[in-house]
Amino acid sequence: MAAHLLVTTTTPDRASGAKIAGSAAAARLAATAQVTGPVASFFWHLGEQGEGEEWKVTFKTTDTRYAELEAHIVEQHPWDKPEVTAVELVRGSAGYLQWVEESTSAEA
C-alpha cells in the first residue's frame, strides 16, 4: 500500500492557488486540492522580517506521485522558491485512502 500524503503550498492570491490546485487534480497528481484563505503570514525574506496575506493550497496524494506533484507546483507557481511541504497521513478511513490511490494512479 502506498503512503498517503498531505502536501501544502501557499500562493499570493486565490487565482494562482486555484490554477495550481485545478491543474494538479486534472493531471491526477492529487486526488483533491483545496484553496483556503487568506491567511496571515509572518516570515523572514531577503534578510528582513515581513508579513502578508497568502492563500493555502492543500493536496491529497500518494508518495508515488509526490515528486511529480512537487515539480508541477514549482513549475506552475508564481514565486521563485515556493514552499512545498508534505506530511504523511498515518491514519484515515480505508475507503477514502483507497480513493486517493485510485484517483492518483498513473494508469487511471
CA distance 1 to 5: 13
Q: Where are the domains of the chain?
A: 4-103
The owner of cell 486555484 is 18
| pLDDT value of position 107 | 74
pTM of the model: 0.94
C-alpha cell at 77: 507557481
Banded model confidence at residue 108, pLDDT cuts 50, 70, 90: low
Interval 78-87: pLDDT, tens: 999 999 999 9
77, 94 Cβ separation under 8 angstroms? no
Banded model confidence at residue 45, pLDDT cuts 50, 70, 90: confident
| CATH class entry, domain 4-103 | alpha beta
- Average of per-residue pLDDT across 44-62: 96
Non-local (6+) Cβ contacts of 10 within 8 A are 17, 39, 41, 54, 55, 56, 57, 82, 83
Banded model confidence at residue 8, pLDDT cuts 50, 70, 90: very high
Residue 13 has pLDDT above 80, yes or no: yes
Residue 34 has pLDDT above 80, yes or no: yes
- Average of per-residue pLDDT across 39-47: 93
| pLDDT value of position 70 | 98
